[in-house]
């Protein structure tokens, strides 16, 4: 598709673009460990290759070296002279661990080097150290883990020319080969054409089977496309069996007794709480690690008693300083000392609170009490006390809310947590027009408020189901 119909491939979405930008930032700090390196511009393909050829002659330490041999092209993050006539490859990744696909990346780089007559001594992967804690200026030596992957790359390079030949054979075909969908659509990376290829699947298809894993592929390979068509003698988990029965019947599953038991654990006043966070690859604030979730916003709806109308409170950080001190202060003022604090996916909110307690010990005792009051609204749905076919195998708030209440985040300018994170990061840590900043802040308030309002609607709807 890239060679023959590139216009069919959608441009990177904001999430993908953000990941690219974070990767570039990770690479920028990595290069600080290699003093005297020469950065080769990537803006012009031919110029990148030509400059690389010239600088290789002087055995310079190179950043973004472009290697072109016939129809093969590779770009090396860091090409480092070693000994008299050898080189080391250093590939920088923004992940926090080494993955098998990384060996394929580096093996292709090494292969291109060999074709150009460059002797590669060793191959290294640099990835982020998720145990690194920022104190003052970023320390590149501690920010990264450097791993010698020469042996793994040596194995991965076996048979590489056959794989290259196969790729060129596909590229040279006049029509796109028929390839069945499956795990390859998202492993090792999400394919941008997945929506197009999966469009022919029926509603309630087997890939939406809750916790399906390998079963989804197995069923698909047997020609079973819809969950409702799974044979009765095929072994399913209890949750999957409920899902199948809902698909066959076309109506939701409701376990009123279990739902009532859950609702009985709620104690007034009820506080519905939701955090939004940023998790930059390179930590911004002292005391934080790579990718650590830092709360910058909360929405809080309070319902004092059964007759009371909800009251809404919110916090949205302003300025580039660490938002947690002001956020914790405001949250402590609002939460009171009693009543259930309802969240959706307790592990996330509780993790945010506990990390905040570590960072700000003066809040530690209070946060411990708050964590003891948390109630996870996700549980009735992961335990399938309620399930609706419209959830499509998901228990997330974004799936449950429209299925149960008819409300949704669809059509909002900010409609999910990742979009909220990226938007806040952009208006806070990059240059944007003032009007954009004002609009994004308004969109963030609207989005986060619907998350907690949605939880109220879900609880009210569950109560109504139990009253029937």
What CATH number should be reported for the domain holding residue 414? Answer: 3.30.420.10
SS3 40: coil
Note whether 294 and 288 are within 8 A (CB): yes
* φ, ψ at 343 (rounded to 5°): -130, 165
SS3 313: strand
307: confidence class by pLDDT, cuts 50, 70, 90: very high
127: confidence class by pLDDT, cuts 50, 70, 90: very high
Q: Residue 172's CB: how many other CB atoms inside 10 A?
A: 8
151: confidence class by pLDDT, cuts 50, 70, 90: very high
What DSSP character marks residue 378? T
264: confidence class by pLDDT, cuts 50, 70, 90: very high
428 is a domain residue:
yes
| Residue 306 shares a structural domain with residue 449 | yes
Note whether 67 and 53 are within 8 A (CB): no
Element housing 63 (H / E): strand 62-69
22: confidence class by pLDDT, cuts 50, 70, 90: very high
| Residue 233 shares a structural domain with residue 258 | no
pLDDT tens string 185-213: 999 989 999 988 999 999 999 999 999 99
184 is a domain residue:
no
Structure confidence at residue 182 (pLDDT): 87
In this predicted model, which residue has the larger pLDDT, 15 or 400? 400
Structure confidence at residue 293 (pLDDT): 98
Range of the domain at 449: 252-468
Among 45, 36, 66, 43, residue whose Cα is nearest residue 54? 66
| C-alpha dist (Å) from residue 428 to 226, 318, 435, 438 | 45, 8, 13, 11
Note whether 281 and 291 are within 8 A (CB): yes
Structure confidence at residue 258 (pLDDT): 98
- Taken as a whole, the chain contains a residue count of 468
310 is a domain residue:
yes
Q: Is the pLDDT of residue 465 over 90?
A: yes
| Residue 407 shares a structural domain with residue 468 | yes
Compute the average pLDDT of residues 384-402.
98
Structure confidence at residue 195 (pLDDT): 87
| Residue 15 shares a structural domain with residue 77 | yes
464 is a domain residue:
yes
Final residue of a domain: which of 219, 235, 251? 251
Compute the average pLDDT of residues 398-412.
97
Structure confidence at residue 83 (pLDDT): 87
pLDDT tens string 162-193: 999 999 999 999 899 988 898 889 999 899 99
Whole-angstrom distance, CA of residue 413 vs CA of residue 267: 35
Structure confidence at residue 243 (pLDDT): 98
183 is a domain residue:
no
| Residue 38 shares a structural domain with residue 149 | yes
Question: For 36, left (φ over 0), alpha (ψ -120 to 50), or beta?
Answer: left
Kindly report the average pLDDT of the chain as a whole number.
96
Q: Is the pLDDT of residue 467 over 90?
A: no
Structure confidence at residue 301 (pLDDT): 98
SS3 272: strand
Per the listing, tokens 């739902």 go with: 259
366: confidence class by pLDDT, cuts 50, 70, 90: very high
| Residue 271 shares a structural domain with residue 370 | yes
259: confidence class by pLDDT, cuts 50, 70, 90: very high
| Residue 240 shares a structural domain with residue 257 | no
pLDDT tens string 422-438: 999 999 999 999 999 99
Q: What is the pTM of this model?
A: 0.94
Compute the average pLDDT of residues 151-169.
96
| Residue 312 shares a structural domain with residue 359 | yes
| Residue 229 shares a structural domain with residue 356 | no
Structure confidence at residue 286 (pLDDT): 96
What DSSP character marks residue 87? E
Domain total of the chain: 3
Structure confidence at residue 340 (pLDDT): 98
| Residue 13 shares a structural domain with residue 72 | yes
List Cβ neighbours of 396 (8 Å cut-off, separation of 6 or more). Answer: none
Q: Is the pLDDT of residue 387 over 80?
A: yes
| Residue 260 shares a structural domain with residue 234 | no
180 is a domain residue:
no
| Residue 353 shares a structural domain with residue 463 | yes
Final residue of a domain: which of 251, 284, 313? 251
Compute the average pLDDT of residues 245-270.
97
Give CA angle at 388 (387, 392), nearest 5°: 100
324 is a domain residue:
yes
Q: Is the pLDDT of residue 468 over 80?
A: no
Whole-angstrom distance, CA of residue 95 vs CA of residue 93: 5
| Domain of residue 62, CATH code | 3.40.91
174 is a domain residue:
no
């Amino acid at each position: 598709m890239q060679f023959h119909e590139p216009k069919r491939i959608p441009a990177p979405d904001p999430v993908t673009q953000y990941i690219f930008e974070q990767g570039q930032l990770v690479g920028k700090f990595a290069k600080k460990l290699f003093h005297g390196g020469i950065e080769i511009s990537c803006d012009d393909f031919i110029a990148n290759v030509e400059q690389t050829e010239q600088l290789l002659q002087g055995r310079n330490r190179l950043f973004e070296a472009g290697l072109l041999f016939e129809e093969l092209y590779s770009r090396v993050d860091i090409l480092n002279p070693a000994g008299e006539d050898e080189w080391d490859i250093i590939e920088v990744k923004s992940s926090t661990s080494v993955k098998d696909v990384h060996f394929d990346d580096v093996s292709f780089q090494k292969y291109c080097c060999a074709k150009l007559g460059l002797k590669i001594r060793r191959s290294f992967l640099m990835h982020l150290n998720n145990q690194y804690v920022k104190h003052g200026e970023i320390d590149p030596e501690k920010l990264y883990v450097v791993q010698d992957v020469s042996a793994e790359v040596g194995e991965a390079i076996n048979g590489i020319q056959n794989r290259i030949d196969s790729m060129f054979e596909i590229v040279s075909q006049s029509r796109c080969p028929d390839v069945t969908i499956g795990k390859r659509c998202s492993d090792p990376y999400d394919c941008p054409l997945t929506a197009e290829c999966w469009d022919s699947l029926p509603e309630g298809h087997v890939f939406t089977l809750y916790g399906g894993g390998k079963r989804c592929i197995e069923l698909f390979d047997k020609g079973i496309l819809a969950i409702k068509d799974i044979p009765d003698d095929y072994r399913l988990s209890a949750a999957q069996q409920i899902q199948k029965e809902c698909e066959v019947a076309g109506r939701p599953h409701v376990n009123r007794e279990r739902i009532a038991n859950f609702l009985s654990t709620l104690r007034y006043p009820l506080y519905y709480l939701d955090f939004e966070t940023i998790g930059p690859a390179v930590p911004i604030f002292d005391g934080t690690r790579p990718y650590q979730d830092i709360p910058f916003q909360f929405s809080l709806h309070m319902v004092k008693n059964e007759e009371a109308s909800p009251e809404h409170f919110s916090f949205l950080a302003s300025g580039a300083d660490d938002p947690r001190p002001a956020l914790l202060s405001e949250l402590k003022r609002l939460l009171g000392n009693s009543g259930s604090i309802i969240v959706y996916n307790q592990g996330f909110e509780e993790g945010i609170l506990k990390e905040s307690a570590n960072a700000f010990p003066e809040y530690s005792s209070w946060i411990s009490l708050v964590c003891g009051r948390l109630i996870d609204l996700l549980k009735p749905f992961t335990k399938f006390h309620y399930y609706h076919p419209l959830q499509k195998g998901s228990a997330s708030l974004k799936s449950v809310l429209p299925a149960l209440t008819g409300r949704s985040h669809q059509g909002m300018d900010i409609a999910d947590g990742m979009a909220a994170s990226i938007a806040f990061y952009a208006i806070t840590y990059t240059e944007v027009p003032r009007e954009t900043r004002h609009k994004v802040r308004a969109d963030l308030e609207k989005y986060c408020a619907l998350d907690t309002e949605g939880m109220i609607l879900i609880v009210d709807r569950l109560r109504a189901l139990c009253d029937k």
